[in-house]
């Protein structure tokens, strides 16, 4: 029986899958190869790059796309040779020779490269090995190099320059076409070359690049097709609401789609019952399990939050800041998009709702863990299981007044500190029986939180909207009331809370208040702190 794959390249016999080459403009890709071009294929991790390269290798070697030899190789093993370019080139050439033997049945490179490396050294061995390999057969050679951006600085620089040095010899004396594959486009490489004591742009080291192709996420149709394969093979269906939620929460990110479906269908005890359909509640539970387990995919992504160039982009998003708070450059945004953290197209925003949930939870994780035991659920839940959000936010207001100066210093993202502290406080409580959904982004001027609380055969929804006081209090409140009312209508929430954070020092007597305000036909709680 096939299953949803979350590790390594897809194998059609083992995995439900979207045809890898169907996700690319194959005609454009084959034209680049026929025209003897060197180009880049890039996409975030666990998007399907390796699967696409292996499928391309099979296609080219089948003769269906013309007479050529194609070899895929992964150079990640050389990453461990941090300051040892010779050792790194030995690993790269060894891997390439092994792949040529396994893929094409050719032993030439395996036998030739050790002597070439000894003669030409790390600065010329790759170029000479590829030249002799290309000359050994009349069929043009196509080389697919995966994980190239994982190489350490001097090794990466050496590889790029040697590929460039042999470019004019193609196709008889050098590979006809080379595809560099990684997370980032080569233009975004900032190569720390210790040998030259400088930082070199990848574009200058590899100025023979003809084009950069981006492997996108699944389309909605592809997500439904993937889920449909499970239904066809097992008889277990997904409700329309479940399929819709998988699409909306992942926005087609391939690993997330497969991970949610795998959790809901195979890891969940309820999901393994093929006589019952997968529901939206199953998907919600699957998402929470992925986040709580801090799966490697999510952990790798959130690890990047510690980098300054990511912080410069994400912090204004979390705080809901305006255009005047932009402290990042275009290359910061490009980098965050290459990592898959940001959506590809405007407006500037986190790529999907799952990442949007993970980012603030990760940034406030330590705070959640360190909140005192008394910040527990029992004191804000009624006798029948209902959640008392007025008591909950009232407790946070007091906590914020007494502890904000200390706690806000704990956040690396200082400008978003108040919002993160509130979310950490709420998350610690709501984890006991509900969930929080979040919306935030540059220029919104606010952070929207939706508390979903199931109890006694019903589900309550509470909107909590956070704003930073920037102008007059009354203007901030008025704008916030309108925004809160709109969000309540969209979420079908029965209760709304507007929280105004005043970042000015002192003046707690003026800043702390709680009152009710009208927004159309709705009454909304307004909190100052």
Instruction: Give the domain ranges of the chain.
Output: 19-214, 220-293, 299-338+354-528
List, in sequence order, the alpha helices (H) in 431-496.
473-491
Question: What is the chain's pLDDT, residue by residue, as a tens digit (529 residues)?
Answer: 999 999 999 999 999 999 999 999 999 999 999 999 999 999 999 999 999 999 999 999 998 777 899 999 999 999 988 889 999 999 999 999 999 999 999 999 999 999 999 999 999 999 999 999 999 999 999 999 999 989 988 899 999 999 999 999 999 999 999 999 999 887 777 666 566 656 666 556 688 888 999 999 999 999 999 999 999 999 999 999 999 999 999 999 999 999 999 999 999 999 999 999 999 999 999 999 999 998 999 999 999 999 999 999 999 999 876 555 556 778 899 999 999 999 999 889 999 999 999 999 999 887 877 775 545 556 788 888 999 999 999 999 999 998 888 888 888 898 899 999 999 999 887 777 889 999 998 878 899 999 999 998 899 999 999 999 988 999 999 999 999 999 999 999 999 999 999 988 877 888 999 999 999 999 999 999 9
Q: Reply yes or no on domain 19-214 having CATH 3.40.50.300.
A: yes
pLDDT at 374: 45
pLDDT at 143: 98
Contact by Cβ (8 Å): 359, 413: no
pLDDT at 41: 96
Cα–Cα distance measured from residue 396 to residue 494, given in angstroms and rounded to the nearest whole number: 21
pTM over the 0.75 mark: yes
Distances (CA, A) of 521 to 477, 489, 514: 17, 11, 19
Q: Which of 427, 432, 487, 444 is nearest to 462 (CA)?
A: 487
pLDDT at 376: 55
pLDDT at 325: 53
Cα–Cα distance measured from residue 180 to residue 162, given in angstroms and rounded to the nearest whole number: 13
Contact by Cβ (8 Å): 188, 156: no
List, in sequence order, the alpha helices (H) in 409-472.
417-430
CATH assignment of 220-293? 1.10.8
Cα–Cα distance measured from residue 25 to residue 481, given in angstroms and rounded to the nearest whole number: 47
Distances (CA, A) of 370 to 60, 96, 374: 56, 50, 11
């Amino acid at each position: 029986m096939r299953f949803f794959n979350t590790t390594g390249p897809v194998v059609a016999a083992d995995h439900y899958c979207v045809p890898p080459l169907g996700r690319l403009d194959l005609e454009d890709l084959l034209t680049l190869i026929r025209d003897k071009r060197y180009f880049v294929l890039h996409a975030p991790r666990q998007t399907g790059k390796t699967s696409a390269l292996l499928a391309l290798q099979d296609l080219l070697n089948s003769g269906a796309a013309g007479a050529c030899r194609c070899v895929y190789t992964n150079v990640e093993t050389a990453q461990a040779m941090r300051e040892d370019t010779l050792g790194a080139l030995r690993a790269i050439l060894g891997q390439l020779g092994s792949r040529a033997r396994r893929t094409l049945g050719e032993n030439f490179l395996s036998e030739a490269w050790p002597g070439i490396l000894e003669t030409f050294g790390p600065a010329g061995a790759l170029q000479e090995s590829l030249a002799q390999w290309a000359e050994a057969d009349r069929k043009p050679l196509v080389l697919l190099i995966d994980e190239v951006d994982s190489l350490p600085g001097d090794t990466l620089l050496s590889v790029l320059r040697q590929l460039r040095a042999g470019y004019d010899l193609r196709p008889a004396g050098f590979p006809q076409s080379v595809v560099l594959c990684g997370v980032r486009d080569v233009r975004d490489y900032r190569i720390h070359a210790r040998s030259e004591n400088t930082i070199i742009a990848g574009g200058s080291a590899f100025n023979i690049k003809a084009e950069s192709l981006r492997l996108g996420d699944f389309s909605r149709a592809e997500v439904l097709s993937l889920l449909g394969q499970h239904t066809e093979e097992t008889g277990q269906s997904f409700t329309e609401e479940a399929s819709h939620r998988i699409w909306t929460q992942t926005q087609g990110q391939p690993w997330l789609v497969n991970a949610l479906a795998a959790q809901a269908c195979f890891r969940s005890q309820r999901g393994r019952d093929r006589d019952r359909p997968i529901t939206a509640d199953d998907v919600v539970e699957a998402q929470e399990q992925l986040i709580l387990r801090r799966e490697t995919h999510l952990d790798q992504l959130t690890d990047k939050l510690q980098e300054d160039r990511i912080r410069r982009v994400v912090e204004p998003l979390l705080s809901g800041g305006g255009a005047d708070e932009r402290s990042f450059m275009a290359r910061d945004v490009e980098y965050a998009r290459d990592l898959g953290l940001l959506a590809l197209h405007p407006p500037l925003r986190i790529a999907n709702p799952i990442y949007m949930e993970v980012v603030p939870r990760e940034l406030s994780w330590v705070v959640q863990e360190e909140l005192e035991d008394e910040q527990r659920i029992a004191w804000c839940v009624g006798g029948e299981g209902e959640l008392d959000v007025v008591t909950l936010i009232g407790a946070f207001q007091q906590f914020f007044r007494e502890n904000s100066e200390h706690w806000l210093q704990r956040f690396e993202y200082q400008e978003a500190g108040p919002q993160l502290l509130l979310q950490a406080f709420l998350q610690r409580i709501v984890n006991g029986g509900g969930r929080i959904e979040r919306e935030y982004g540059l220029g919104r001027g606010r952070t929207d939180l939706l508390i979903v609380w199931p109890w006694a055969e019903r589900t309550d929804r509470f909107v909590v909207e956070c704003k930073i006081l920037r102008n007059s209090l009354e203007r901030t409140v008025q704008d916030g009331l309108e925004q809160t009312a709109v969000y309540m209508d969209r979420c079908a929430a029965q209760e709304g809370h507007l929280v105004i954070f005043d970042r000015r020092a002192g003046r707690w007597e003026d800043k702390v208040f709680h009152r009710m305000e009208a927004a159309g036909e709705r009454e909304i709680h307004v909190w100052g702190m």
